[in-house]
Amino acid sequence: MSEQQPVSEATEAAASDQRTEHGSPGQESTAPESGAPESTPPAARTRRRRWLSWLLQGMVVVLIYLGASTWRSHSLLPSDGSVEAPAVQLRTLDGKSFDLRQLRGKRVQLHFWATWCTVCRQEFGALNSVHDDLGDDEAMVSIVADSEDPRALARFVQEHDIRYPVLLGSPDVLRAYQIQAFPTNYYLDSKGRIRGTDVGMSTRWGMSKRIGCAR
């Protein structure tokens, strides 16, 4: 009998150690499971917040630009065909007079721009393409605002390979067409009536489409 008691105590001690190591029956383990998803690293969260911030800022800029373009378009002459393009005095780069009524019978794009206008410069290629694709019943005329030095303008036109006609504008011309920003386009039907307008950068496709719809 005296030798059985230590064996029983050793058995109980081993069982106690096993319960301590694996937890009591019914008790949940607090150790993380190997398959549990980890939280997003701080660097990734920062990049995501920065990207969302840039996206929101870009959307705000676009909305402001569209709002400003819409407001400026509304400040132009009516484009419902009720108004004829103002008859203004224009001059070519070599000093000859030009009358827009010479273009009656054709659908016309009047493009107002300035040499210092960055957006205007970005449109040179598109305008060249539109001009090169014009039909016999279509025409394009550009009116440049800064006309103080015709010789300098002629050099500018040559350096930038501008292939469409460039006429010299004046403050009176800009006032007559209510120009408040560059670039601005008017689209005239074959009778010289205003059928469309736009302000700001336009695509080659957009300008060609508006010329074709000026009826």
pLDDT over threshold 90, residue 6: no
The reported pTM is: 0.68
Instruction: Sketch out the chain's domains with CATH numbers.
Output: 79-213 (3.40.30.10)
What average pLDDT does the structure give for the chain? 82
Q: What's the token pair of residue 40?
A: 């997003």
If you ran DSSP here, which 8-state letter would residue 29 be given?
Answer: P
Three-state secondary structure call for residue 83: coil
Q: Cis peptide leading into 183, omega within 30 of 0? A: yes
Judge whether 109 and 130 are in contact, CB under 8 Å.
Answer: yes
pLDDT band of 117, cuts 50, 70, 90: very high
When pLDDT is averaged across residues 97-120 and rounded to a whole number, the result is 97
| Percent of the chain at pLDDT exceeding 90 | 63
How distant, in Å, are the alpha carbons of 5, 41, 80 from that of 120? 103, 46, 26
* Greater model confidence, 122 or 69: 122
Assign 181 to helix, strand or coil: coil
Contacts of residue 191, Cβ cutoff 8 Å, sequence gap at least 6: 84, 104
Query: Average of pLDDT values for 145-163?
Result: 95
pLDDT at 7: 46
Q: What is the pLDDT of residues 39-76, one digit of tens each?
A: 667 777 787 787 777 777 766 544 444 444 444 556 89
Q: Give the β-pairing of 194-199 and 184-188.
A: antiparallel
Q: What is the pLDDT of residue 55?
A: 74
